[in-house]
Amino acid sequence: QVHLVESGGGSVQTGGSLRLSCAASGDTDITHSLAWFRQHSGKEREGVAAFYTGGGSTYYADSVKGRFSITHDNAKNTVYLQMNSLKPEDTAMYYCAAVRLWPGLRWSNEYDYTYWGQGTQVTVSS
């Protein structure tokens, strides 16, 4: 089992920045993929960014490329999402997710992930 706890959400104005953290505990050595998803009110979760621990590869949704950055601190078992140049459309509940096997091209498919955090709210005002 892997337990994920997110933190770092909050309210910012357009153009601001936030850094989300996701601390993993438990059987963290079995997780090869860590990802961030977000869910706008009334919509399905969408993949935002993913990190493949096996090789350090990173993947991003087109909507956040160039603005968001996902990093992983192996010693702390923590994955981060640095969010810059935030826009009102980035407002959502953000979730950390993990899975044992790397989903490859399906990295943004929520159904391929086994473990989920409780979420942290990000609100961007115009």
For 37-79, what is each residue's pLDDT tens digit?
999 988 999 999 999 988 889 999 999 999 999 999 989 999 9
**Phi-psi sector, 77: left (phi>0), alpha (psi -120 to 50), beta:** left
Closest CA to 106 of 43, 52, 25: 52
Arithmetic mean of pLDDT, 104-124: 94
Instruction: Give the least confident one: 11-15, 38-42, 101-105.
Output: 101-105
CB 100 within 8 A of CB 114: yes
Model pLDDT, residue 118: 97
* pLDDT reading at 31 higher than 70: no
